[in-house]
Amino acid sequence: MYRFEGYILIILFVLIVQKGEAQTQWSKSPQNLILTKANNFYEGTAIGSPSIIDEGDTLKMVYAAGGLDSKGRISYAYSIDGVTWIKYNRATPVLDVSPAGNWDSHFLDTPEWIKDALGYKLYYFGDADNDPIGSAIGLATSNDGIHWQRYGTQPVLKPGNPGDWDELYIESPSVLFDGQMYYLWYSGVDSTYRVRIGVAISKDGVTWTKFTSNPVIDVGTINSWEGFSVATPTVIKRRGIFEMWYCGASYYDLIDNNAIDTIRIGYATSSDGLHWTKYAYNPVMSTYDDPYTVFESRGPWAPDVIYRPLENKYYMWYETAYGFGLATAPDDLLTIKEKQWAPFRFTLSPNPVTDILRIRFSAVENPQGKIQLFNILGKQIGEYAISQTMQIDTSILPPGIYFLVLKGRSTQIQKFIKLQP
């Protein structure tokens, strides 16, 4: 993980919250697909289940990679804008299957990670053979998000007892730490292969207690869009409210060709993370929403959502049959006055860059100040006067990571990656 110690940007917002439903208005990116499988041994079959951490100047993703040996592993990628991703170490996994005989020796899938005061925690589905029955959720830890150490030799959350709603196997964890409690929402499968969503809580992120009133998100009526299954939750907490997006499938979609071809995403909210209310106008997104191409086939599945406050925008990455898609939703909950108070911002494109880096500023008639260029070591190597539209010749820079610092009415920092020409 790269950190820039030269400047600390602290922005205080006084927000007047208005009722709104922007979180349900999703638009697919015209740049889809934003990540596809590599033509190599480790992910030559498929990739899936993206999980993203927002580190401010960098978006970091772990994802499942299906290898040519029919085994699943966990890989890592990073991005500046959420659209252009760079795979770590040429798509070599950062967490491999364990030795034969262990509970997670055959397949790793549905990764989810968080960062807390102790470092990174990675939760994942693991199994020992081609049969998911009995499979569970494991934990690995890391200081840098790349080099991982398994926690113990057993999973941290197991399927339920015979007759329970999650007796066959569990997968697709979504984990959140709100400063006081860890929450883990997950997909559980019963003996009829019905899939529903439950939650477990923990004080340390290791020892989990399942909620006694699970499942917390149940299937809908038999004729509904979510009558067959609800699965793969993703949860964030914002303004004291838990927000969940989840995938639903119908019996009607299954019976036409014995395959789930149409995936829809539902939205729900909760005040405590345990008791949930589904959005009255679900679903909020579907496979065939425009723009639809064959690349959206079997998506949007296993979504992962973050909110980026400086952009006032929600981001959703999701799995399809051919790679990862991206959708965004604006946050229209700010009042006009608050939008007028928004900080003076600038954006960079393209990023990563090879030759010319273009700089664009937020809607300000006469931007003033200067922009300073720093290398990864924090050494200033350039300074430029601000103009409404400006560009920097990066062709002379060695490949690597750089920082632009705007010194004007406020201090802003943006990171860019210089690629080899």
Give me the tens of pLDDT residue by residue for the chain, a chain 421 residues long: 322 223 222 222 222 223 344 456 898 998 899 999 999 999 999 999 999 999 988 999 999 999 999 999 999 999 999 999 999 998 999 999 999 999 999 999 999 999 999 999 999 999 998 888 999 999 999 999 999 999 999 999 999 999 999 999 999 999 999 999 999 999 999 999 999 999 999 999 999 999 999 999 999 998 899 999 999 999 999 988 999 999 999 888 777 666 667 889 999 999 999 999 999 889 999 998 888 888 888 889 999 999 998 888 899 999 999 999 999 998 754 333 333 334 456 788 888 888 999 888 765 445 567 888 988 777 789 888 887 778 899 998 988 888 888 765 556 778 888 887 7
Could you tell me where in the chain the CATH 2.60.40.3080 domains are found?
A: 344-418
Half-sphere exposure of 157 (CA within 13 A, CB side): 31
* Nearest alpha-carbon partner for 235 in 314, 168, 296: 314
| CATH domain 344-418 topology | Immunoglobulin-like (2.60.40)
Q: Is residue 233 reached through a cis peptide bond, with omega within 30 degrees of 0 on the bond before it?
A: no
Q: What order of strands is seen across the sheet that includes strand 389-393?
A: 346-349, 356-361, 389-393
- CATH H superfamily, domain 22-330: Glycosyl hydrolase domain; family 43 (2.115.10.20)
Could you tell me where in the chain the CATH 2.115.10.20 domains are found?
A: 22-330
* Nearest alpha-carbon partner for 327 in 20, 30, 22, 21: 30
Cβ(361)–Cβ(396) below 8 Å: no
The CB density around residue 85, as the number of other CB atoms within 10 Å, is 20
Contacts of 24 (CB under 8 A, 6+ apart): 267, 279, 281, 284, 329
